Amino acid sequence: MKSLKYSNTLPINLLIASIIPFLIFGPFFPDLIVSVSALFFIFHVFKKRIFYYFYNKPFIIFIIFCIITIVCSFFAENILFSLKSSLFYFRIGVFACFVWYLIDNDKGILKYFYYALVFCFTALVIDGYFQYFTKENIFGMKIISNRVSSFFGDELIMGSYLSRLFPLLFALFLVKVKKNKLEIYFIGGLFILVDVLIYISGERTAFFFLNLSTIFIIILIKKYQKFRLFTFIIALIFIAILSLNLSGITDRMIKTPAKNMGLIKSSLEPVIFTRVHDSHIRAAYNMFKDRFILGHGPKSFRVKCFDPKYSHDENSCSTHPHNFYIQLLAETGIIGFLFLFSALSYVVYVAFRQFKSIIFKQKRTLSDYQVCILAGMLISVWPLSPNGNFFNNWLMVVYSLPVGFYLQSIYSKKKRK
């Protein structure tokens, strides 16, 4: 196979791995790297005729989804506004394939991603706890409503960053060839501190994702199962101590969600997630019922939610309905929704096969590395939680990363034409 020369991969690998720290400072540079990389890789694939990276089922299905979203945009009230989200969405799929290609040609990129993640997680842990105890971080950024955000400032997404990239960090830790005792102890301590930091960030969805991916990993991996279980239990002990002594964080992370869902007796009726989220979802559902096949077009919720025809109450409007599946139903109809649902179905199916092989003591279908990567993908397609805008640039980069690693892990051993 014709490819980039090994000597040329170092600067490219470093550039791609730099996405990890750049994500802390906003979506501009990560999205720029993704866009430029996608254009470069398309050119390179056609020049070197290495169509294998595009001629595979996952990428073909993704491109069909992109075409569907573009078609949906033409049914939007403001076509050009909607096309801003859908027209170049294909770049995240191309970028994932580019990551796959780079790993194929130089496994050193795994090391660069690993150290980038360790560095960023360590920096956030140090700065996050500093901000928690002193009420401002090392750059003087004030803590907001007792919620730790570290370098993210008024963007309260530090927990989201840590929880979404944690499975990738664990995966790369597993495949690191040489691990001395000091490094293992350091990573174990880092895991504990990250678990607790996500909790005190006050990001309920991030904490849920952390627990979801951790339980998923502990059940399905083999070699470092006890290691992760031990660090998780230690973190939960610290979290329990904090919850017993800090009523504010306990109310936000435990009591309020329980009341909203009707798990704790309350004078208020149970709602979906929160009252605001409930209003968003009901408005989006009203939009879906009106155009259930192709929806109102990507990025249209923020416009159509003001229409009395769809509005549920004064809390109905936002830039998006805060749930990927509900957003796709409203903006791309049942057709767009089915593509994301098929991704969830695939993750559940593969996980079930792994679980079955463990129960019946058969050869495992996935390596521990693949299980961790799959956990990162599960977070992205999980339906029963609030989340951001499906077409958001920052989230787009985060949920495309594990896909590239996973594609490489399942296709690298197959014969290429």
pLDDT digit string, tens, across residues 302-324: 999 998 889 878 888 999 999 99
The pairs formed by 12-17 with CB atoms below 8 angstroms and a separation of 24 or more are 12/102, 13/102, 13/106, 13/108, 13/109, 13/112, 14/112, 16/98, 16/99, 16/102, 16/109, 16/112, 17/109, 17/112, 17/113, 17/116
Q: Sorting pLDDT into bands at 50, 70 and 90, what band is 417?
A: very low
pLDDT at 18: 96
Kindly tell me if the per-residue pLDDT of 179 is higher than 90: no
Kindly tell me if the per-residue pLDDT of 202 is higher than 60: yes
Mean pLDDT of 328-351: 96
CA distances from 110 to 107, 209, 215, 234, 404 (A): 6, 24, 24, 28, 12
Strand partners, 142: 136
Residue written as token pair 């991916």? 213
Kindly tell me if the per-residue pLDDT of 120 is higher than 50: yes
* C-beta of residue 203 within 8 angstroms of C-beta of residue 157: yes
Measured distance CA(100)–CA(275) in Å, rounded: 41
Strand partners, 342: none
Mean pLDDT of 250-254: 81
List the chain domain ranges. Answer: 6-267+312-411
State the virtual CA torsion across 135, 137, 140, 145 in degrees, nearest 10.
Answer: -40
pLDDT at 261: 67
Mean pLDDT of 54-82: 94
Short-list 316, 335, 408, CA closest to 65:
335
Measured distance CA(341)–CA(274) in Å, rounded: 23
pLDDT at 313: 83
**Angle, in degrees to the nearest 10, between helices 225-245 and 181-200:** 40
Q: Sorting pLDDT into bands at 50, 70 and 90, what band is 7?
A: very low
Measured distance CA(232)–CA(226) in Å, rounded: 10
Q: What is the mean pLDDT of the chain?
A: 91
Q: Sorting pLDDT into bands at 50, 70 and 90, what band is 268?
A: low
Residue, of 4 and 99, whose pLDDT is higher: 99
Query: For the segment 228-245, what is each residue's pLDDT rounded down to a tens digit?
Result: 999 999 999 999 999 888
Kindly tell me if the per-residue pLDDT of 110 is higher than 50: yes
Kindly tell me if the per-residue pLDDT of 415 is higher than 60: no
Question: What are 389's two structure tokens?
Answer: 């805008």
* C-beta of residue 268 within 8 angstroms of C-beta of residue 259: yes
Share of residues in the chain with pLDDT > 70 (%): 94
